[in-house]
Amino acid sequence: MSESEIAMAGHEAVREDSPYGIQHKKLGIWLFILSDAVTFASVLFAYGYVRVGSPGWTRPFEFSPTIANGMVMTLALLTSSLTMLGALEAAKHDHKSRCLAWLGATMLLGTLFAALHIREWLKMMEDGWRLFQNPLGGPALFGATFFSITGLHLTHVVAGVVALAVVAGKFNRSRMDAGHVETVGLYWHFVDIVWMFVFPLVYLMNAR
């Protein structure tokens, strides 16, 4: 194509097709998720490293309340992934009010997860657990690994709820579309997937 033909055709005619067939924001969030997955993997590997190298590792979690609480948190997070899918389906079909209702449910479940998590932390602190303090007399690094892993995940959940609120607000004012709902949904599902590793490795592996 000559230069004049390109000029005649305009910018659209020479734009290359994406090799992935997705919008740039979706590719961006996938790359972010990839890097964040490596971050969580590093933290979980570090936890494994410390645990393997520390004889007499503490296993403080009773079924009730800690494991049962963890199961309720898992139920809340898994269900929030389902409501997120509902929001995306509604957004794709341009059902604005239904999409907002599903997004609201997702945020509510995310908030419930965070509230249960914080309540559990407060109870543990009441029992004497600190970042470098183990009230049961075992390795002090238990607190460091537990609070850092669950804290990093909780930060992601809170950030996700805020991101959902922003997208819901802008989607309501038609300043964002279904693509944005899908992008924030991908992040939300990722947070759920991370919990699928945190719950068994940090909670169940430390159950009495």
Partner 1 sequence: MGAPKTKDGMGMGPFVAIWAGLLCIVGIEVFLTYRHFSSQKLLLFLLIFACIEASIAVMFFMHLKYERPSLFWSLVPALLFVLFMMDHFWPDALRLEHLRVVHW
Q: Which of residues 38 and 159 has its CB atom nearest to partner 1 in the complex?
A: 38
Per the CB < 8 A criterion, the answer to whether 86 and 95 are in contact is no
Q: Which of residues 45 and 132 has its CB atom nearest to partner 1 in the complex?
A: 45
- The whole-angstrom separation of Cα 69 and Cα 52 is 26
Which amino acid is located at 4 in the chain?
Answer: S
Beta bridge partners of 207: 61
End-to-end CA distance of the chain: 72
From the list 118-126, 136-144, 158-166, 190-198, the region that binds partner 1 by CB under 8 A is 190-198
Site map 64..103 versus partner 1, x via CB under 8 A: ---x---x--xx--xx-xx-xxx--x--xx----------
Number of residues that bind partner 1 (CB under 8 A): 48
Which residue blocks in the chain are alpha helix, DSSP H? 3-9, 11-14, 24-52, 68-92, 96-126, 141-172, 178-198
Q: Which of residues 15 and 173 has its CB atom nearest to partner 1 in the complex?
A: 15
Provide, rounded to whole angstroms, the least separation between the CB of residue 4 and partner 1. 26
Provide, rounded to whole angstroms, the least separation between the CB of residue 199 and partner 1. 7
Tell me how crowded residue 105 is: count the other CB atoms within 10 A of its CB: 17
Per the CB < 8 A criterion, the answer to whether 143 and 131 are in contact is yes
The binding site for partner 1 (CB under 8 A) comprises 17-22, 27, 30, 34, 37-38, 41-42, 45, 48-50, 52-53, 55, 63, 67, 71, 74-75, 78-79, 81-82, 84-86, 89, 92-93, 186, 189-190, 192-193, 196-197, 199-201, 204-205, 207
